[in-house]
Amino acid sequence: MAWIKRNLFFVIGGTVALALLGAAGYYDFKSYSHNSDAFARLNEIYDTLQGLAQQKPSPGNRNVDNIKAAREQEKQVRQWIDQTGKYFQPMAAIPDSPEVTSEAFAAALRKTIDQLQHEAVAANVTLPPKYSFSFEAQRSLVKFAPGSLPPLAVQLGEVKTISEILFAARVNSLDSVQRVRVSDDDAAGPQADYLDDHPAVNGVAVVTPYAITFRAFSQEIAQVLAGFASSPHGFIVQGINVAPAESAATTSGSQETSAPSPAMAAKGGSPTVLDEQLLRVTLEIKVVKPLPKK
């Protein structure tokens, strides 16, 4: 005690110093903990930014704004669609009505099939017996699967337009038209009526696939392609497969015919006969329908 009394100021100063050192240590610990949390958060943000930068496409950086560029490109695409709108006119649905009833569609379907069959006869185009133009599953129905009438009406209008392009080209025969399934009723239809595919929506347009198989000579094939190219509707020929038609009877029961054989005079005086062969053609077609403007 005597020593403390003699060194009172030293003891008080030491105590204060110890207190300050403790406070400083506590502050350093809290600061370290805070800095550690901040550093971890910074690493997390960096990892997120790095992940975004590695995406394809990436959002860009301070010099390149890919999001803005994408919006500009979408704007350019829509401007292009507006300029080329005359080539992407929608085909009228059958029946063309905001509210399609089962009775109206059943009547329109029977009428359209009958009309197409008569047009084929007038154009001398052979069809399979009692052909339904891919609507065999719906042909005898009077009630249809819920929600299926609007897409079926659209498809009927598109199938009619496609078939009439073939009739206008006067192909030898139409073997099949294939469409995508849009109704539960399609499950009961023949497989030959359908494609194992589905419509695609890309934010700008709806793209619906079809496939048609027909028999024709090269001149008629050219006319079919010209018919799709000059159509005011959005037809894109995605693929074409051409092979010699069978020499036996067709699936419709008609005999194959040969093309006229024009003669060309050769230098030796004897004619060279060009005997063109009947071809079986399958076209993969996309129907492009722009979405309504936002």
**pTM given for the model:** 0.66
Q: Which of 63-77, 163-177, 198-212, 247-261 has the lowest mean pLDDT?
A: 247-261
Last residue of a domain, one of 54, 74, 96: 54
pLDDT surpassing 90 at residue 30: no
pLDDT at 178 (0 to 100) = 98
pLDDT digits (tens, 9 = 90+) for 102-124: 999 999 999 999 999 999 999 99
102 shares its domain with 228: yes
CATH code of the domain containing 97: 3.30.70.60
Is pLDDT at 230 greater than 70 in this prediction?
yes
Domain count, the chain: 2
Residue-level pLDDT at 9 = 46
Percent of the chain exceeding pLDDT 90 equals 53
pLDDT grade for 10, boundaries at 50, 70 and 90: very low
User: Three-state SS across the chain?
Assistant: CHHHHHCHHHHHHHHHHHHHHHHHHHHHHHHHHHHHHHHHHHHHHHHHHHHHHCCCCCCECCCCEHHHHHHHHHHHHHHHHHHCHHHCCCCCCCCCCCCCCHHHHHHHHHHHHHHHHHHHHHCCCECCCCCCCCCHHHHCCCCCCCCCHHHHHHHHHHHHHHHHHHHHHCCCEEEEEEEECCCHHHHHCCHHHEECCCCEECCCEEEEEEEEEEEECHHHHHHHHHHHHHCCCCEEEEEEEEEECCCCCCCCCCCCCCCCCCEEECCCCCEEECCCCCEEEEEEEEEEEECCCC
pLDDT at 53 over 80: no
Lowest mean pLDDT among 3-17, 56-70, 71-85, 236-250: 3-17
- Whether 282 and 154 share a structural domain: yes
List, for residues 149-169, the tens digit of each pLDDT value: 999 999 999 999 999 999 999
Q: Are residues 27 and 122 in the same domain?
A: no
pLDDT band at 67 (very low <50, low <70, confident <90, very high): confident
Instruction: Write out the residue range of the structural domain in which residue 41 sits.
Output: 2-54
| CA quadruple 185, 186, 188, 190: dihedral, nearest 10 | 160
